[in-house]
Amino acid sequence: MCTGINIGGREILSGRPAVMAIVNVTPDSFYSGSRTQEAEAIRERVMQAAAEGADIIDVGGYSSRPGADDVSAEEELRRVSQAVGIIREVLPDMPVSLDTFRSGVAAGVLDKFGACIVNDISAGELDPRIMDVAASFGVPYIAMHMRGTPADMQRRTQYGDIAAEVASYLASRAEAARRAGISQIILDPGFGFAKTTRQNYDLLAGMDSIVSLGYPVLAGVSRKSMIYKVLDITPAEALNGTTALHWECLRQGAAILRVHDVKAAVETVKLFGYYMSDETVR
């Protein structure tokens, strides 16, 4: 069940799952089709995402793929600020999400551009002050499951019942966020982060245990290795597999799909909504 989230006075999740469009202002994200560094490319990407029905635009200036180059906080802030500035110029009412684990980056953008979601891949583990930043600005906060850092996370894949362990971890991080004063919390199972291919599917199969915690759940499977490794293809060829898994994410209760391909995801949400409605003939 989707519950409403308020971003600067705009409600999302009030009636249907939302589609979050990925805009990576980095030179080395794992899917080359999502890389948009120049101002005109950013402008075109966000306008296209809006035209295709995106509910949120997620801006990231630090690639979290294994082996990615480190980026200074100053450079990350510069990249993200440029993109958010363009979004505010061309789509002033579009909800924006900041894909960062650094409190300074989040604070710098929020102070300059106003309310945005803080989307933290480390759930406050890499920079605990980021929860305080989200609380002080009164904005929604996404806590994702990951072990270690992007550089070493794929060496930290020892689990028993992965769905139960991820649910327990996210419950504890949600409580930490609440203690920090955050009232709007979204949980992300962290597909692809410190998980083997098989573990990603076990986690997907048990995602309802995370949904049952009572917070909106974000699912980020778009074009990831859990798809292209199984199919023996490239990320560029993984849209069909992404769509198939998006349906299962929705069936498991996902409230937000974080995606590279907005049109396909919007259509999947619409079809799933019709399938689940009273109008559907069984």
229 is catalytic: no
Q: Which of 16, 45, 224, 229 is catalytic?
A: 224
Task: In whole angstroms, give the CA distance from residue 266 to residue 77.
Answer: 30
Q: Are 193 and 164 in contact (CB under 8 A)?
A: no
- How is residue 260 annotated by DSSP? S
Q: Are 120 and 144 in contact (CB under 8 A)?
A: yes
Distance of CA 80 to the CA centre of its chain: 15
Q: Which of 147, 173, 195, 258 is catalytic?
A: 258
Task: In whole angstroms, give the CA distance from residue 117 to residue 142.
Answer: 7
224 is catalytic: yes
- How is residue 154 annotated by DSSP? G
- Residue 185 three-state SS: strand
SS3 content of the chain, % helix, strand, coil (to 5): 45, 15, 40
Report the amino acid identity of residue 45.
R
Closest by Cα among 105, 80, 102, 90 to 54: 90
Catalytic residues: 224, 258
